[in-house]
């Protein structure tokens, strides 16, 4: 006998899926801002996209969407939106702002797009014990720091190439919203980091390099913690 689901529960489940889907609208808005030469607004839209991505999984688990709306694949929707906001839009921004220039810039941009597309479709992109495998395609974060620090095209191309190669590396990175070990401290520090990024965006077009340099402490913490957990077999 099939389970009877209340209209309120169904509405909550579909509301969560709609919330996830709004990330696609933020990607579109960011592309419009990029085409208008408004880099600051584009980064703000990407910031909103990260906020949606950081919270929709928790809401989905609270609503128990997999159980009550099994015919709709929320994970596939999330991957589509994430590819747009974490990969495609940031790479377009890097090209349009001149961070990636010429044939070399276009080549490494294509490499990043293809590498991330491969990783998003790989069965082990997200492991059952809540890790990302390979560089987790945080191109939005990479684009922000390269832009704020005024990194030259050659250096941007080298960084982009290196990270695209790391997509295929046998490395595991923690999934902050799903991890259990040191979850509270990681999320707490992540919220402080998000506040620092907001300050950086508020100050644009002035490039707040000092704030950006200090805020790099969190990506460093996240990377080192991920490597430590992998080495310990956690």
| Rounded distance between C-alpha atoms, residue 98 and residue 93, angstroms | 8
Half-sphere exposure (CA, 13 Å, Cβ side) for 189? 16
Q: How far apart are CA 102 and CA 27, in angstroms?
A: 25
Domain boundaries, the chain: 7-231
Nearest to 11 by CA among 65, 76, 67: 65
Measure Cα distances from 167 to 11, 38, 183 in Å: 37, 29, 24
pTM of structure: 0.91
Q: Per-residue pLDDT for the chain (234 aa), expressed as one digit of tens each?
A: 346 778 898 999 999 999 999 999 999 999 999 999 999 999 999 999 999 999 998 899 999 999 899 999 999 999 999 999 999 999 999 999 999 999 999 999 999 999 999 999 987 777 777 778 889 999 999 999 999 999 999 999 999 999 999 999 888 888 877 677 787 888 899 999 999 999 999 999 999 999 999 999 999 999 999 888 888 765
Which CATH number among 1.20.120, 1.10.490, 3.30.70, 1.10.3470 corresponds to the domain 7-231?
1.20.120
- Please say whether the beta carbons of 160 and 198 come within 8 A: no
């Amino acid at each position: 006998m099939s389970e009877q689901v209340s209209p309120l529960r169904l509405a909550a489940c579909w509301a969560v899926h709609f919330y996830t889907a709004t990330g696609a609208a933020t990607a579109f808005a960011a592309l419009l801002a990029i085409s208008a030469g408004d880099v600051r607004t584009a980064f703000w839209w990407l910031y909103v996209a990260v906020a949606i991505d950081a919270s929709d999984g928790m809401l989905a688990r609270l609503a128990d969407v997999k159980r009550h709306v099994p015919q709709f694949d929320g994970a596939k929707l999330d991957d589509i939106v994430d590819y747009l906001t974490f990969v495609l839009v940031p790479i377009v921004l890097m090209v349009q702002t001149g961070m990636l220039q010429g044939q070399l810039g276009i080549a490494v941009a294509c490499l990043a797009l293809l590498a991330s597309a491969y990783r998003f479709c790989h069965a082990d992109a997200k492991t059952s014990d809540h890790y990302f495998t390979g560089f987790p395609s945080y191109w939005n974060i990479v684009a922000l720091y390269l832009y704020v620090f005024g990194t030259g095209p050659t250096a941007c191309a080298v960084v982009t190439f290196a990270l695209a190669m790391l997509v295929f590396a046998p490395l595991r990175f923690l999934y902050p919203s799903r991890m259990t070990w040191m979850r509270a401290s990681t999320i707490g520090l992540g919220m402080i980091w998000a506040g620092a990024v907001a300050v950086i965006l508020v100050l644009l077009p002035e490039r707040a390099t000092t704030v950006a340099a200090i805020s790099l402490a969190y990506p460093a913490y996240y990377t080192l913690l991920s490597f430590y957990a992998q080495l310990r077999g956690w």
